[in-house]
Amino acid sequence: MSRLAIITGITSQDGSYLAQLLLQKGYRVHGLCRDMEKSRARLASFLGFPVDKITLQETDITDANQMGELIRSLRPDEVYNLAAQSSPARSVQNPRETVLVNAICPLNIMEAIREAALAGTTRFFQASSAEIFTDRAGAPQNEQTPLGPRNPYGASKALAHCLVGSYRASHGLFASSGILYNHESDRRGKQFVTMKIRDAVAEALAGGPCPVTLGNLSARRDWGWAPDYVHGMWLALQAKSPEDFVFATGTAHTVRDFVEAMFRRMGNVTLRWEGRGVEEKGYDTSTGKMMVAVNQEFFRPAEECVMVGDCSKALQTLGWRHTVSFDELIGLM
C-alpha cells in the first residue's frame, strides 16, 4: 500500500508544491482545507496542478476533536502542518486567530498522534519560520540561535516550535520543524512584498500607476524558490531521527535588488538610484522617468541584523541545498 500523507493548508503555495512532490513519489495525499469549492478552484488555478489526484477534506484544524478523529481513522504515515495565518503584519491586528491557527493546531495534531498511539508510526512536520529568532543574535542564524520573536506571528511559530521539541523529548514523537526563510513562486500570496512588487512592476510597465511605491528599500531578505523548500520538508521526515532544520539560501538581497531585478527582467529597464531612506527614488536610466519611490506609510526601519539562514545542518544531514539562484527566482516568478 502506498504511503499516506496529510497536508494542512493544502491551498497554500507550499501545500500545493508539496502535494505535487508527494504524488510524484507515489504517496496518497489527503489535503485539509476550509472551503472545498474555493480550495478546488484555487488549486485548479495553479498551472498543471493535478486536483483530481488528491483527496480534499473540509476540516476545522483548530478543533482538537476533529483532528483526533481524522488522525485515528486515517492513521497517516506523515503529516505536514503548513496551514497558518502567515502574515506577520496581519498577526499584529489578529493575534488570537494567529495563535489559534499557528500554535494550537500543531498542538492538536501532535496530541492526536500521541492519543492514537501512533508516535512510533506517524511522522510530523511543522512549518516553522525565521521569525522565531531574535534580530539581535547576529547573522547568519542557525538551529542554535536564541528565540526572540517580534510579533504575534513569530511568537505563535516559536510556541509551536518549542512544542515540537517537547513532544519529541517527552513522547518520542517523530516531529521535526523546518525553520523556513522566505521562499517564493508565482503561487505566493498576493499580500507578500515580492508579489506586490512583481504585480506593481508589471502594471507600471503596461502604463499603469508609476512610480511603484514601496517601504524600506534597504530591508534585506533571504529569498529562495518554494519547490526547494518543500523538498526539504519531505527530506526532514525521511531522516534517521527527528530534528529541526534551517532551510535558507544563505544569501540576503535588498528590496531594492528585488525591484531592480524585476524591472530589468520584465521590461529591460535599468534603474539609477538617488536619495536615501524615505527620499530614495529609482529612475529609468534611458528615459529619466521616476519608476520607484518610497511610501512613508510603509517605511519601517531595517532590523538590527540581517535575517539570513545558515543551512549547514540541512546540507550535512539531509543533503539539502537550494537549487535556484536569486536571478533565476526573479525569472520564475
What whole-number distance in Å separates Cα of residue 156 and Cα of residue 246?
18
Residues 237-276 contacting ligand NAP, CB under 6 A: none
Query: Is residue 86 within the footprint of ligand NAP (CB under 6 A)?
Result: yes
Q: Which of 13, 98, 176, 177 binds ligand NAP (CB under 6 A)?
A: 13
Phi, psi values for residue 328, rounded to 5°:
-65, -40
- How many residues in the shown chain lie near ligand NAP by CB under 6 A? 22
Q: Which of 91, 122, 129, 216 binds ligand NAP (CB under 6 A)?
A: 129
Chain-centroid distance of CA 78 in Å reads 19
| Cis amide bond preceding 140, omega within 30 | yes
Query: Is residue 83 within the footprint of ligand NAP (CB under 6 A)?
Result: yes
Query: Is residue 98 within the footprint of ligand NAP (CB under 6 A)?
Result: no
Pick the closer one to ligand NAP by CB: 244 or 280. 244
Between 27 and 46, how does the x/- string for binding to ligand NAP read (CB under 6 A)?
------xx----x-------
Q: Which of 4, 5, 12, 280 binds ligand NAP (CB under 6 A)?
A: 12
Q: Least CB distance from residue 122 to ligand NAP, whole Å?
A: 19
Q: Which of 4, 7, 9, 284 binds ligand NAP (CB under 6 A)?
A: 9
Cα separations in angstroms, 210 against 196, 250, 298: 14, 33, 17
Query: Is residue 67 within the footprint of ligand NAP (CB under 6 A)?
Result: no
Of 46-54, 77-85, 116-124, 286-294, the window that binds ligand NAP (rule: CB under 6 A) is 77-85
Cβ–Cβ under 8 Å, residues 294 and 214: yes
What whole-number distance in Å separates Cα of residue 273 and Cα of residue 309?
28
Sign of the CA dihedral running 39, 40, 43, 46? negative
Helix (H) or strand (E) holding 129: strand 123-129
The DSSP line for 28-39 is EEEEEES-HHHH
Cβ–Cβ under 8 Å, residues 282 and 290: yes
Between 140 and 179, how does the x/- string for binding to ligand NAP read (CB under 6 A)?
----------------------------------------
What whole-number distance in Å separates Cα of residue 106 and Cα of residue 85?
13
Per CB under 6 A, residues contacting ligand NAP are 9, 11-15, 33-34, 39, 61, 82-86, 101, 127, 129, 180, 182-183, 189
